[in-house]
Amino acid sequence: MGKVDRKDGVVRLPLVNPANTPVRDPLGDEAMVDPAVVRLAVLDDLLNLGRANSLWPLTFGLACCAIEMMAAGASKYDMDRFGAGVFRPSARQADVMILAGTISKKMSPVIRQLWDQMPSPKWAIAMGGCTIDGGPFKYPNQYAIEEGADKIVPVDIYIPGCPPRPEALIAGILQLKEKVKAGRRFEG
């Protein structure tokens, strides 16, 4: 049994967090923590560990970055090594949305619908310049694209590049794993 830290109400297993660095709740709402949650925290940590190591991304390519996403899943880079190679064709089975490519105004309602279809807990990775702020297609009076994925879904990880190399996507996945392990996520 790990040491119970009453301050943030999370039970720490040495395996999970050897440095025992304090991890804050992303919502910063300490009033949420009550004894019942503290008792469940071990299970939560285990669940988060499981979630972090079996991320199921949605098979969903928008443009150029999708090819690098495929390359990251294929033989040379092999995202399966990090448990994130099980691309699901249906939003109902996925828990990570990798937004790979330019988001056009025509596409943005579709993306929102897909996001709403994904079961919680879920995370979003904005891959490439277009999903960060419009990237190379951003210019004053641009009529066609949505300048940034965060206008549509809450984004957890941003990966810069045009397109980012597969290594960069893998680095992003690893970052997301840390975030998932610590139990941080946006609700809804």
Partner 1 sequence: MSVDLPTRIDELSTASEECAYEKVGFHQRHTIDASVLIDLARAFFEAGYVLEMITCQDLRAETQKMLLVYSFNRLESVDRQLLHLAIDPDTEQAPTLSMIYSGANWFEREVYDMYGVRFSDHPELERILLPEDADFFALRKDFGRMDEASAGGDEAEEGDDD
Partner 2 sequence: MTNPPRELSPSTEGELYTLNMGPQHPSMHGVLRLVLQLRGEQIVNAKPVIGYSHRAHEKMAENRSALQFLPNSSRIDYLSGMIYNLGYCQAVEKILQIEVPDRAVHIRIIAAELNRISSHLLWFGTFLLDLGGITPFLYSFDDREQILDILDSVTGSRLTYCYGRFGGVTRDVDDEFLERSTAFIKLLRTRLLMYKRLVTDNVILRERCIGVGVISKDTAFRFDVTGPSLRASGVAYDVRKAEPYGGYDRFDFEVPTEEDGDTMSRFHVRIREIEQSCRLIEQAIASMPEGDILPKKMPKRFQIPKGEFYFACESARGHFGIYMVGDGSDIPFKMKLRTPSFSNLSAMPETLRGTMLADTIAIVGGIDIVMPEIDR
Which residues of this protein are in contact with partner 1, per CB under 8 A?
105-106, 139-144, 147
Q: Give yes or no for a contact between 129 and 160, defined as CB atoms under 8 angstroms apart.
A: yes
| 35 vs 140, beta carbon nearer partner 1 | 140
Residue-level length of the chain:
188
| 45 vs 147, beta carbon nearer partner 1 | 147
Cα(149)–Cα(127) distance, rounded to whole angstroms?
A: 9
Cα(147)–Cα(102) distance, rounded to whole angstroms?
A: 9
| 92 vs 106, beta carbon nearer partner 1 | 106
147 interacts with, out of partner 1, partner 2, none, CB within 5 to 8 A per kind: partner 1
Q: Which residues bind partner 2 (CB under 8 A)?
A: 58-64, 66-68, 70-71, 74-76, 89, 91, 101-102, 104, 106-107, 110, 114, 136-137, 139, 142-145, 162-163, 165
Three-state DSSP class for 145? strand
64 interacts with, out of partner 2, partner 1, none, CB within 5 to 8 A per kind: partner 2
Tell the smallest beta-carbon distance from residue 85 to partner 2 (Å): 11
Structure tokens, 54: 């079996």
Which residue type does 56 have? W
Cα(50)–Cα(95) distance, rounded to whole angstroms?
A: 12
Q: Give yes or no for a contact between 56 and 94, defined as CB atoms under 8 angstroms apart.
A: yes
Tell the smallest beta-carbon distance from residue 110 to partner 1 (Å): 11
Tell the smallest beta-carbon distance from residue 148 to partner 1 (Å): 10
| 24 vs 105, beta carbon nearer partner 2 | 105
Cα(56)–Cα(96) distance, rounded to whole angstroms?
A: 6
